[in-house]
Structure 1
Amino acid sequence: MNVKAIREQFPILHQEVNGHPLVYLDSAASSQKPRSVIDAVRRYYELDNANVHRGVHTLGSRATDAYEGAREKVRKFLNAASTQEIIYTRGTTTALNLVASSYARAVCGEGDEIVLTPMEHHSNLIPWQQVAKATGATLKYIPLQPDGSIRLEDVERTVGERTKIVSVVHVSNVLGVVNPVKEIASIAHRHGAKMVVDGAQSIPHMRVDVQDLDCDFYAFSGHKMCAPTGIGALYGKKALLEAMEPIEFGGEMIDHVDLCESTWKELPWKFEGGTPIIAGAVGLGAAIDFLEEVGLDNIEAHEHALSAYAYERLSAIDGVTIYGPKQDRAGLVTFNLDDVHPHDVATVLDTKGIAVRAGHHCCQPLMRWLDVSATARASFYLYNTEEDVNRLADALHQTKEFFGYAIG
């Protein structure tokens, strides 16, 4: 994989921040956008801007073709069986809320169980808390191992005959853990439960095949995979989506409307009320084209090598604590520098032109499990290099000096 050539396609990377060349290490929060995606969105607004599915004029037809063409790209990217199984959403959060509000509230009752893990992002935790409050269901948690991973035998012990939903993050945005969602789905299905996967941190970085995983729902965001903000999708098995009721009502999602009664369009449009995020879908399609051209296998291998290198460089710095497993981790390293608040670490790094994340990463229960209030996180993508890691390690040494440490 020619990282230098890839970097040339990202205009934002070619700038200085605070007098230093930018090192962007916050792709787990939001990735940067290649020129091809930026140009696709610009072309839509310049040449094809119109609403979809409504007008018979040329611009409307071109916009509809682009919008639905991008849905086919998503279907193929996920290896879903049909475009009817691909629902456009604003992102992972909206997709998970749709499953929780439309599916889970209808099937859960008093004493039923929803199984999660303590590493879940708030977007895959709070919706289930609300389902439990509304239905009387109980939340259960698969215990974590000391390195933050989970064992299948613990999944077996946690999932039971009253379990209706198992919802697990594919890749932890803090620990870098890659969860065995295919095996977890098999366990869930043996007990008659449905498997929901938060794919926000997996789909940008590895090949995802929803039919092979046999998950019932899979949610992801476009902005973490080189697409614009405000667009994402929910994959759901067709039979489940057909049985679910929409949770947003209005134009575009209806079939027939009377004064006192209405019926819905067929899938996927019954869940897409109102004017959709057309430009975002166009950008998402362009992002998929870009990632396919680079190759997901190449991206995954590059990031694994980079995270291993970063783990080695940062763990050699005295006073740095790294969280999550040493092996088999995704492309991020979450860490703390002893006695220095991660916000202070991130602020000093920013003066060196290095962008990292600091805070609880929308994972407050996991922070309590780690016994910290916050962490710093460096996350990598296809445009990052070993030189970026070296800049980070050198800057952490300088941060220690700034706060009065001796260099380790």
Structure 2
Amino acid sequence: MPESARRRLLGALLAGDEPAADGGRDPDDDGREAAEVAEVAEVAEVAGIMQQRARASGLVIGVVAVLVFPAWTLLDRYLEPGLAPQFLLVRLLALVPMLGCLYLLWRSPLGRRRPELLTLLILVAVQVAICWMVAQVDNTESYASGLSLAIYGCGGVLAASVRWTGMLTAVTWLGLGGAVLLAPRGIPDVDVVAVVFWLTTASVVATVTHAVRHALGSRELTTRVSLLRERERTRALLDRLERLSLEDPLTGLANRRRWDAELAAACAAAPEGGDPVAVVVIDVDHFKQVNDRHGHAGGDAALQEVARLLMDRVRAGDLVARLGGDELAVLLPGADADRAADLAEELRVAVAALELPGFDRGELTLSLGVAAGAGLTPEQLTSRADERLYAAKATRNAVGSPLPGPRAPAEQVDATR
């Protein structure tokens, strides 16, 4: 997404508007769509954080305003003692909408969605009350200077778009104009000029300050969120690369690298006299003929189906791996020879009963070798399983197990050594 589009979208989200749909985007371009979804999520996250900042800063402004504004009645008693009671009433009346907006800002969903608006209303109540007082007093400059405090507060504290300071400034100037026009005794020109000078300075300084502060804050936040998302993408990519380095791409089973590591760990955790560990090594019978008859696509489909069947029948802690070609294996930590032989026979029967498109029933069979024990090295355990696998392949569709007795189509291969 271009930077200009990102800025427009961020502005729309901060303003509470729904971002417009991009009618020019190619709907079939999945890659670009995914990228734009990520960009929108990033911008939305930035907007959400900025709304939180706006609410927090608005609460600060609101609390200060409701505490300071009535306290200025002390100045009224000093500058305009005759009007002080009337001004106190005005200040207390202004507190009603100020406290209402502050409560909404603090407790309501509106305060989370539109904190800038509620903060603006609090400050507008202050400015309207001051403008009314300006029209009543002789000390015009002293009271009019209070108008700049709200403008400075908005421009220097509120974490939101600069337009909110612009709106407060506009309301203030309108209020001051009304005070000048409606003052019962009129306001001397020299006082008007002084007030205009000071208020103009305050408006410019506050607006520029707000614009610079908001731009820097937005840039800092956008950069931080981008870095965090980039870190997440990098972590996800590393996780995916690690998974790919340990996973067979065709079947989704563990690959030889993971098998060797897991087998070594399982054997190390099964010392002599402790819990046993078992392995079942598996060959797909006549797999070359399967490839010749059904093509490599058919052979791949057969391997994938066998892999799925194996995964469906093992325990959560067991590991199924593709060691290469049509050679598969199952690692069974904590399993003895009986458990491993039972699983091997279950797998043999299930594969022989598979009905695959284009395959004859019973065309796909397995030969399996079983070994189990404790205190064995990975090489010893694998060697014993391989010996029993070779014995099973003498008849095909059979299980080579350390347990004697019939198990295969005719009998289980007794490969004890």
Could you say whether these structures have the same fold, taking a TM-score greater than 0.5 normalized by the shorter chain as the test?
A: no
TM-score scaled to structure 1, two decimals?
A: 0.20
Q: Which structure is higher in strand share?
A: 1
Q: Which structure is higher in helix share?
A: 2
In terms of Rg, which structure is larger?
2
TM-score scaled to structure 2, two decimals?
A: 0.19
